[in-house]
Structures are given as structure tokens and as C-alpha cells.
Structure 1
Amino acid sequence: MTVEKVDATLADFGAHFERLFASPDAASDGKVKLLLFLADREPGSSLTWCPDCNVAEPVIYERLEALRGRDAVLLRAYVGDKPTWRDPAHPWRVDPRFALTGVPTLIRWEGGAAAARLGDEEAHLKDKVDALLGAGGN
């Protein structure tokens, strides 16, 4: 499995999402579609401000690399700094497609909707990540 990783911020998420998940070409490309919502990285660091993200992220990448079969696209969406994320009106909290309550959140996207989801309390568990990655038509 090859994994295409694309990074997005609040500002450019819509364009990336449309191209990778919602366009007719994306819908028929046969790739496993994954969204990973993460905290922003700390300046000058490879770590985010979110301890749960720092634990889950390497587990998710390891499980992706261990898979064989279909190609995948992983859209990593960075939610912003702590004050931006904690705002109850954060765009991804109020968007019914995502309805985020915490980060990290890993979503498998199929047929124009979230088909499977792991929230911050599960996204670091290998068996849960494996189950999400294996869900649907593999």
C-alpha cells in the first residue's frame, strides 16, 4: 500500500478535501480515504501541543505502512493552536460531516461520508486502527 499524505489547515482544507475526497475522480480512484485531525505542531518541533496526538500519530503511520493491498490517501488536517481549537464554534466542531469533539480523530471516508471513526481515546490503539483501516471494501 502506498500512502499519499497531504497536509491541510483551516484555510486550505476545503480545496484539499474537494480534490481528494469529493471530486468525481477521487470517488472512483479506488484509494482508501482517511482524514486525520491533529493539533498544530509546536514551532521548531515535530511534536504537537496535544499529547494524545503525539502518541497516536506514530501508531497510525505504523499501521498504515504495515498494510498491504489498496493505496490510500491521508489528509492530515491541523485544527489550529489551543485557543482556536477550544472555540466551541471551531469549523470542524460544528461541521456535521466531521462533528469533532477531540483530537486526534481518524476517519475512514467512503461513499461521501464518514464510514468509521476513532476519537482521541482510541486513535492510539493498534487493534482499533487496524479495524478502522480494514473496514469497508478492501
Structure 2
Amino acid sequence: MPEFVPARGFIEMEKLLKLYENQKDPIYIYLFGEKDKQGRSWCPDCVDAEETIMTAFRTNAPEESVILMVDVGNREAWMDIKDNNFRKPPYNVDGIPSLLHWKGVERLDGIQLTKKTLLELFFEVTDPKQKD
């Protein structure tokens, strides 16, 4: 089963990526809007995608992969285009939810994360064991 690692915000995500930089197995970055005390995100697209993406993580992500579960903050922080480091290179994330393959070019954004077949293909393409 993949290792799920929570991260709150950009700085924490960057620290974790440094920690895992020598990992040979895939690392995925899942970005979503901050959740309230009931576990519900302010981001309606994140809420819509959550069940599908979590199922895909459990059933399709490579066994030894690491999934950084990154809370991008509240709506105000996310909408701050000027100072939001998630929106700048090398990440260039325009919307959430987003799923990135770290050190790869593959990514899914928004409504794509509600599509089971796209998620299956995403993990198939990014799994190094599938390429052998």
C-alpha cells in the first residue's frame, strides 16, 4: 500500500520532497483545499473528487509509492495569485484538486480527478514497474 504523508502548505511540502528526493519509487503530490473540522474542504471540486481519488490511491497507485497529501490552505490563500508558490514554477498549479507526478510531467487537474479511467491510466503510466 502506498505511504500517505500529510503536508500543510508549500513550505512543509518542499521539506518533505527534499526528505524523499532519493526515493526510487514514484512520488505523487495531491493538492486540495483546506478542510474544516468536519473534514470537508472549502473547494467544491475537491469534495467532488475526494472519493474517486482516494479509491484510486488504494487500488491503482504503485505499492511502494509515496503520496504527499498537501493542504494548500484556505480559499483566500489559494486565490492569492501573486504570493501563492503552488502557482509558480516548477508546479504551475492553476486549480485544485491537482495530482502531480513529482519529477515527471504527468498531472491531472480538477474534473479529471473524478474520472476513474483517467486515474487508472495516470498510475499505469507513472509506475516504473509497468515500463519493464
User: If the TM-score is normalised by the length of the shorter chain, which range does it land in?
Assistant: 0.7 to 0.9
Identity %, equivalent residues: 21
5+ residue gaps, structure 2: none
| Bigger share in strand | 1
RMSD of aligned Cα (Å) = 1.6
5+ residue gaps, structure 1: none
1:55 aligns with 2:54: no
Comparing 2-11 and 76-85, the one that deviates more: 2-11
1:133 aligns with 2:119: no
Mapping for residues 77-116 of structure 1, pairs under 5 Å: 77-89=70-82, 90-94=84-88, 96-109=89-102, 113-116=103-106
* Alignment check: 8 A CA contact 1:108 1:117 kept: yes
111, 119, 125: which one aligns with 2:109 = 119
Letter in 2 for 1:41: K
* Alignment check: 8 A CA contact 1:103 1:120 kept: yes
Are residues 64 and 92 of structure 1, via their aligned partners in 2, closer, same or farther at CA, if it must alter by over 3 Å?
Answer: same
| Bigger share in helix | 2
* Alignment check: 8 A CA contact 1:92 1:99 kept: yes
Structure 1: which 4+ aligned runs deviate by more than 6 Å?
none
Note the C-alpha offset of 1:68. 7.6
- Give TM-score scaled by structure 2 length: 0.87
